[in-house]
Every structure is written in structure tokens, then in C-alpha cells.
Structure 1
Amino acid sequence: MRLRCLLYLLPLVLLAGCEETPTGRSQLALVPDTLMAQMGEDAFDQLRRGQSVSRDAAVNRRVQCVARQVVAAAQVRYPAAELPEAWEVVVFEDPSPNAFALPGGRIGVHTGLLRVAETPAQLAAVIGHEVGHVLADHGNERLTQQLGIKAVLLLVGFFGEGDLGQQQLMQALGLGARLGISLPFSRAHEEEADLMGLAIMARAGFDPRQSVALWRNMAAAGGGQPPEFLSTHPAHGSRIEALQQAMEEAVATYRTATPADCSG
């Protein structure tokens, strides 16, 4: 009986779940937004309990300033995208060159990233990329792919199975890894987030050409191999090439924007 119901509902779910990302790419994202936001909040709270938070006032001012400018620009650049009402930004004491953004409006930046992102504009390239993941609902899309249609339809029952269900969902999102957050999105997700981040940082008044400098720094930091943050990402050369192909439009946008000032 349950199988018959699933087969009956499947076409309806597929039809209801087919959406477009802000760039126009078709996607299937079936998990309710409220559930994604709750998962993001829970994961962020878990990280905050398990990792030290930076108390460096200057570092926090810089990161908060860049994140604030990036989020405001994202709202302007992609007005049709559903954005969290408020964003929480935390700098974690962690030597890995990493940053992440979670559903529900949580942004985390590792202090190790600030040794690679040498300028506010380079930091904006990373935060813009991560915000792009959230705007494009990549976590939802990936979770839908991981769980499968049947699992999504039975999501309520799945969550009712206690800690095991929660743990499996966390793993499907790539959350709860040793370093706290790991989002091994697909290559298509990464390329889309790169281009969205480029457009966002330019709209925010950060020189988009610094995105290329950032990824070159990332390559150098990895000693010829991508650091863990980039372990599932496109190769540095192809990533930089894609950014350069979109650079003319991004620079034109940047020249019309009010220059961002997060150096203080």
C-alpha cells in the first residue's frame, strides 16, 4: 500500500520540486526550507560549542564588514532569491583556510582563511561564493539527491528515528565532519557559486579581479595540491579560467558600484 502511494505521489513531487536557481539552472530541491534552516541552525550551534571563537576585535570587524556588504549586494543582485531575514557571522579559531554559509543565514569564517585571503576583496570572493551556495539552495538539492525521492517523502518518519536519522541527514549535507563543516557540492554547484559570488562581490563594490588572486593564493597554500576546503572543487586552472570569462561583465558592474571599505 505504501509503495502504491509513493508511486502515485512521485510525479506530483517531481513536478512540485522542479525549480530554478537564481542563474536559471533547473534543480530538484524537495526538503522544506524551514527544515533546512533548522538544520543549519543546529549545525552552527554544534560548531560553536565545539570550536573556539575568535575574540580579535579587528578581525571580527573586518569579517563582519565584508559579510554585511556581500549579503546586502546579494539581495540587490538576486532579488527573486529567497534570503534569510538575518545573518549571523562568526569567526572560528581554526588554521584551515575555510569558510562556509549554512541555510538559515549562518556564516562561519576560519582564521586560517585570513592568511590566504589577503585583502577584504579576496575575503568577499569567498563569502560571496558561500552565500551563492545558500541562495541557489545547493544544500537542499544535494540533500534531495542523497536521500532519494522515497526518503524525502518519508522525511518526517525518518526524523522520528532519533539520533541515527539526524546523523545521516547531517552526513548527507556534509555537516559534522572533523573540521566542522565540509560541503562537497558537485562541480556544477561549485561553478555556479563561483559565478554568483563574482557577481555579488562586484555589486558590493569589491574589485572582482581579486577573486582570481584569491584562488591563486589558495593554490599556493596547498603546495600544488588543493587544501581540504577545495578538495572537491574544480581545478584551480579551470576555476580561474571560468572567472576570467565572466570578468568583463563583473568589472563593468564594479565600476558602477560604490566602493566597499572594510579595511579599518
Structure 2
Amino acid sequence: MGPFGDRAAGGVQRRRGLKFWPILLFLGYLGYYYFSHQQSASYTGRKQLIDTTAEQEAALGLQSYREILSQSRVVTSGDLPQQVRGIAQRLIEAAPKVEQYLAQTANIPASTDWSAFNWDVSLIESDQVNAFCLPGGKIAVYTGIIPVAKNSDGLAAIMGHEIAHALLRHGGERMAQQKLVQIGTMAASMSVGEMDPQQQRMVMAAIGAGAQYGVLLPFSRDHESEADKVGLLLAAAACFNPQEAPKLWERMAALGNQKPPEFMSTHPAEATRIQQLNAWMPEAEQVRQHFCSTPAR
């Protein structure tokens, strides 16, 4: 600028646009982080990204479990809690057997740190159609899901799925993915720092949508499908009828709850789950035949 505020002749206006160096730094860190924190998932052999220990995840799971139970009505009397605990015990006992079976038949590394699991099972009085298993083996079943499960085989399919999430360390994997998304968002915000505010909002919104629909939701659906398959094998090895799993999801679909399109959801559509479970059924039947003396009903 000249001495009177006018633009000096030959002056060059600084361009206010996208900075690339934060993005390049993030891509470099992404490569390092991805390759230095990979491990093979037990039960599937899939490469997964984890930067926490099983003990750290179990500690977080125990904390959440205690908080949930402190705010819930836990059912301790009657036959139902005993039945739920019995089903859980059979699935828990089957878990290391299935891991070793897959290691022998499919050459999948048996890498579960069993010392990090201290199993506990609670039945919670609630209308929620839900169940969960937190890292470290903290299981809860809501009474609202019992009518949908319909029988012990259906409940085994539900609980096997939830236990599989913990065995596959999906919680630790999601934490690692969220960490990368947060760092990527920071890099993006630094890159657009000199852009017009409206352009900043547009770029950040596009990045947020890309992370949500391109990374987090697809990974979440993959986790659900992976837990469906491993849970099916757990139930089969525990001598429950695996044929009940697709029937369970038919009953889930019949509930008629409004759901978003599959690509916008954290879970696969019921039709997708039914199709996948039926495709995995021959392997589940083989596992059941291997571990159980009586054929499936």
C-alpha cells in the first residue's frame, strides 16, 4: 500500500486460499499411524487399526457398565435372569473353542487376550429392544428384546453378536478411527484458515460428510456384519440352532421401526443381514456338527 492508503504500483495481493502443508502433514502422519498400529483380528484375520491395549478398553468398558447399571433397574430374581446367564455362559465357553477351530481350519491367528476379559451378565428391566457387550466382557440384555428373541436360540443369536463385538475389539477400532477423523478435521481447518468464511463452511461441511459417509458409517456396518458372522459361529459352537438367526432378523424387520437408508445407517438393513446370515449358514452348520453331538433342529 502507498503512504495514503492507495495500492502501490506493481503491488501483489496475497492470495487467500487453501493451504496444502497441513494436509500433507496429516497424510504423512496417517501413513505412519496406519502401518504402525495394524494387527490381525482374531476370528477373521482382517487387518484392523487399534492403538489401545485390551486392558485399557476393558477399563473403559467397566466404567461404562457400572454407570449404566447404576441408572437402570437390574432384574435379579426369577427364572429369566438365570436363563440369560446360562445362555451367556455357553457362548463364553464356546468363544476360545471357535477361535482355535478357525486357527486350525482357516489359519487365522488366535490373538485374543483372554486375561482382559472378566465376564459379567445383567438383565435390565426396560422396553428397549437392545443388548450389548462392552470391552472386557460386560454383557447386558434388556427385557424388551426377549419377546423378539422368542426362544433361547434367538437370544443366543443376539448375545453371540454382542459378545463378538467385544472379542473383535470393535470398540478400540472405533476409537482409533475417531482419532484419525479428529486429526484430519484439525488439519482441514488449518488448511482453510485464510479462505472466505462461506467457503470455509462449505469445505468443512464437505469434509465432515465425507468422513461420516465414506469412513465411519461403512466401517460401522462392516463391524456389524463381522459380529453377525462370528456371533453365528459362537451360537453354533455352543449348540444353539443357527437357523434361528435369520428368523430373528425377520422378526426385527416386522417391528416396522422407521429407519434411514442403509448407506446413512450404522447398521446393515435387515434384508442384508438375513441374506448374509443365510450365506454363512453352511459354515455355521459345520461348526455345530463339529462341536455338538446332535444335529440342528
TM-score range, shorter chain: 0.7 to 0.9
On the 8 A contact 1:17/1:30 being kept in 2, the answer is yes
Partner of 1:74: 95
| Equivalent AA in structure 1 for residue 113 of structure 2 | E
| 1:211 to 1:50, Cα distance in 2 relative to 1, 3 A | same
Q: Residue 140 of structure 2 aligns to a residue in which SS?
A: strand
234-243 vs 13-22, which moves further: 13-22
Q: How does 1:148-187 map to 2 (within 5 A)?
A: 148=180, 186-187=220-221
Note if contact 1:138-1:185 (Cα within 8 Å) is conserved in structure 2.
no
* Candidates 118, 128, 132, aligned match of 1:86: 118
Candidates 103, 107, 122, aligned match of 2:139: 107
- Deviations along 1:10-69, one digit per CA (max 9) or x if unpaired, are 765433310121202111011232221111010000011101101332011110010000
2:281 and 2:28 mapped to 1: Cα distance? 47
The counterpart of 1:200, out of the listed 229, 234, 242, is 234
Q: Percentage identity across aligned positions?
A: 36
For residue 103 of structure 1, what is the amino acid of its counterpart?
P
Partners of 1:214 and 1:236 in 2: CA distance: 10
Alignment of 1:1-264 (within 5 A): 13-22=33-42, 23-79=44-100, 80=110, 81-83=112-114, 84-148=116-180, 186-220=220-254, 222-223=255-256, 225=258, 232-258=266-292
**Could you tell me the TM-score, scaled by structure 2's length?**
0.68
Unaligned runs of 5+ in 2: 1-21, 101-109, 184-216
Change (3 A) 1:150 1:12: farther
Q: Which runs of 5+ in 1 are unaligned?
A: 152-182
Distance 1:47 1:69 in 2: 24
Structure 1 residues 150 and 118, CA gap change in structure 2 (3 angstroms): closer
How many angstroms does 1:259 deviate by? Answer: 6.7
Show CA shifts across 1:156-205 (max 9, x none): xxxxxxxxxxxxxxxxxxxxxxxxxxx99711101100000111111110
Q: Is 2:38–2:47's contact at 8 Å kept on the other side of the alignment?
A: yes
